[in-house]
Amino acid sequence: MRASSSSSSGRTEAYRPPLPPTARLLPPSLRRGGTDGVPPLPEFKAHEAPVNALALGTKSGRVYASGGDDNVVNVWAVGSSQSIMTLRGHSSPVEAVAFDANEEVVVAGALSGTLKLWDLESQRLARTLVGHKANCKAVAFHPYGDIFASGSQDTNVKIWDVRRKNCIQTYKDHSQMVGVVKFSPDGRWVISGSADATIKVWDLTAGKLFHEFAAHSGAITSLDFHPKEFVLASGSADRTVKFWDLDAMTLESSSAPEATAVRCIKFHPSGEALLSASHDSLKVIDFELLEADGSASVLDVVWVAWPKLADFGLTAATQLVGYHFHHKVIGGWLINLDNLRPFRDIPELLASAAEPVAKGKGKGKGKGKAKSKDKAKAKATARAHALAHASAPTPATAPLDVSTLYPAAAEAGAGAGAGAGAASSGGGPRRVPRSPRAARQARVPSAHLSSPSAGFPAPAGPGATLSAASAHASPGGGIPSSFSAPLGLDPAAFVHAPSGVRAGRGAGAGTALGPLLESGPPMQAVLSSRLHSLKLVRALLADGRATAAVEKLVALNDAAVLVDVLATLNGKPNFYSLSHCVALLPPLNELLASALDRHVAVALQTIHILIESFGPLLVTHTQSPVDDIGVDISKDERRQKCAYCLSAFATMVPTVAALTARDGDIAARAHTLLLSFDEYIPQ
């Protein structure tokens, strides 16, 4: 083992691994950080004992928290060696830390398995939660509510409700330590990565395992979701990054093995590429552009000596900050992404797009390279348009005023440091989708995280998408509140009424489709996405998996697909089961508030079929006496489902009554449905 060296100034420097041979081919600005264009931030002593955990805030990217063997959590400003505040309360070493979405709360897990939360505004301990039987190794907050997840050496994943001060769900399917937990952007799933090399997708509403990915051969070290497509990336100790299609639940691509384990991964906010950090480098990976051997293409690389990198993030669209720790010391790095592909050379991309695409006539290796080049050129125009905005130069960074973050800390005299980056603006403009999945990039969050005792989603009011506890909305505000419009798109932006032509029997198919075809890639992406979704549901129905088909239909969160499928299923009223009724009532309630008449009409028809099919059963099971002797689990579950359905139907009555004031078929359907409600819903 090589010993650390001493400089002429007497300062001991950490061992830096030699430059890989490929680094000689890079320009100086892309070589080893700290000597050739990637200056390290000064290292400093952060704790009185070894540091175990570090996490950056995701809202601004300008604060981070660290925990160590001295049992404390320190909060820092990026670029400063003076802590903003020190949070005490743990009686054992801190092994995991995380900020909430608004950087107002910090949660820390300890060696004892205890979790503690602090309010950063008041610097006071807010909660102490106990439940894990071994040290807590990972924590992450839900994107919208006062809920967070934790992973532990005891192999369990736990979901905690901060307001109720207890654990509401426990998942026990891993066989080794859970080292990574992350919520999906829509808040419906929590993803866990384990030392057993598996990634598990847990459905929070159903309270059970939804899917498992098992293609890695080493411990999972990092997880991240694509900001605009339904794709999950995973980094592992097996030295690879893998990309998973969450629509088809399949492996989409994988990177070539690194020299060392992958420590941290994050998608760029533009969605253009993934940033992957290993012990000695930062690589930019495009998961859709494949090399001849089938691996995801590495677009660029920076050699950085950060062997114990803990976390990195973007303080601006083109500036990355990363922090590592060793023993009691913390150090950081700033990397300007303007120097890296695809975040640079916009003129070259435009020129490449203008060149004619060469046809690959060779076989084997040459043919694979030709296909990759063709794909790159086909994407170049859209890529350049998006990056021209995402890579725009940012103004010089202003010093961070800690009082604007935590006024109480400033008043108490806590030290404030200079920030190293401007607040993130949320990831830049939306670009032309590169695949059908991108059309569903703005996915509607769950109407409510259900109580584990009930096991079913709570009835939501018309158009409701978040629970009352979800006071912290996402900064971008990009979550649709209902099913009233195509997800992520404004129809007026691409559908134009043809001038001088009136729709009618005399209008041909070409006339009707003309405005849609002229609208370009956005509309095509929406239609392709819906076709893909319909095929998924149809395949499940063809396999006889009716329950799975209904669950998939609800999970898609696309009102147009939901209405198309329900309109077909309503022709077979005997298709529906009580479980289907439980799953469909929340989205049907939202469809009643839609501005589209067809959506409302299909919702009324479906609800009428359900109440007529299951009304007698609901009344019988909810009014029958409960047996005092013995426990019939199936009967109790059926009673619970019936009670839930009756409650959900009751919440619809005011909305349906209001629809009777409308004209035509909707008013007639609403009136008929009210008569059924009167028959089965107790007054």
Question: What percentage of residues in the chain have a pLDDT greater than 70?
Answer: 65
Residues 534 and 628 in one domain: yes
Residue 104 lies in a domain: yes
Query: Is the pLDDT assigned to residue 74 strictly greater than 70?
Result: yes
Residues in the chain: 683
Q: In a 3-state reduction of DSSP, which class is residue 41?
A: strand
Q: Which of 50-54, 381-385, 471-475 has the lowest mean pLDDT?
A: 471-475
In the structure, what pLDDT confidence band is assigned to residue 573 with cuts at 50, 70 and 90? confident
Q: What is the pLDDT of residue 394?
A: 33
Query: Is the pLDDT assigned to residue 43 strictly greater than 80?
Result: yes
Residue 417 lies in a domain: no
Q: Which of 110, 106, 145 is nearest to 130 (CA)?
A: 110
Tell me which of 342, 375, 405 is where a domain ends. 405
In the structure, what pLDDT confidence band is assigned to residue 317 with cuts at 50, 70 and 90? low
Residues 177 and 54 in one domain: yes
Q: Which of 297, 228, 232, 298 is nearest to 269 (CA)?
A: 228
Residues 49 and 161 in one domain: yes
For 502, half-sphere exposure in the C-beta direction (CA atoms, 13 angstrom radius) is: 2
Query: Is the pLDDT assigned to residue 654 strictly greater than 50?
Result: yes
CB 100 within 8 A of CB 58: no
Residues 524 and 380 in one domain: no
Q: What is the pLDDT of residue 544?
A: 85
> How does pLDDT run across 354-389, given as a tens digit for each residue?
444 333 333 343 444 444 445 444 444 444 444 444
The residue segments making up the domain with residue 531 are 454-459+484-501+508-680
Q: What is the pLDDT of residue 290?
A: 85
* Residues 594-618, mean pLDDT to the nearest whole number: 90
HEC profile of 338-406:
HHCCCCCCHHHHHHHHHCCCCCCCCCCHHHHHHHHHHHHHHHHHHHHHHHHHHCCCCCCCCCCCHHHHC
585 φ, ψ (degrees, to nearest 5): -60, -40
Q: Which of 304-313, 485-494, 673-682 has the lowest mean pLDDT?
A: 485-494
In the structure, what pLDDT confidence band is assigned to residue 522 with cuts at 50, 70 and 90? low
> How does pLDDT run across 85-106, given as a tens digit for each residue?
999 999 999 999 999 988 999 9
Residues 255 and 347 in one domain: yes
Q: What is the pLDDT of residue 293?
A: 86
Residues 142 and 277 in one domain: yes
Q: How far apart are CA 46 and CA 66, in angstroms?
A: 8
Q: How far apart are CA 236 and CA 631, in angstroms?
A: 45
Q: How far apart are CA 16 and CA 2, in angstroms?
A: 10
Q: What is the pLDDT of residue 180?
A: 96
Question: What percentage of residues in the chain have a pLDDT greater than 90?
Answer: 34
Residue 33 lies in a domain: no
Residue 446 lies in a domain: no
Residues 530 and 397 in one domain: no
How many folded domains does the chain comprise? 2
Residue 432 lies in a domain: no
Residue 264 lies in a domain: yes
Residues 523 and 394 in one domain: no
Q: What is the pLDDT of residue 47?
A: 95
Write the CATH number for 289.
2.130.10.10
Residues 175 and 57 in one domain: yes
Residue 8 lies in a domain: no
Residues 518 and 388 in one domain: no
Q: What is the pLDDT of residue 466?
A: 29
In the structure, what pLDDT confidence band is assigned to residue 17 with cuts at 50, 70 and 90? very low
Residues 374 and 518 in one domain: no
Average pLDDT score, the chain:
73
Q: What is the pLDDT of residue 493?
A: 36
* Residues 671-680, mean pLDDT to the nearest whole number: 88
Residue 314 lies in a domain: yes
Q: What is the pLDDT of residue 408?
A: 53
* Residues 276-291, mean pLDDT to the nearest whole number: 88
> How does pLDDT run across 166-224, given as a tens digit for each residue?
899 999 999 999 999 999 998 899 999 999 999 999 999 888 999 999 999 999 999 99
User: Residue 646 CB: number of other CB atoms within 10 A?
Assistant: 20
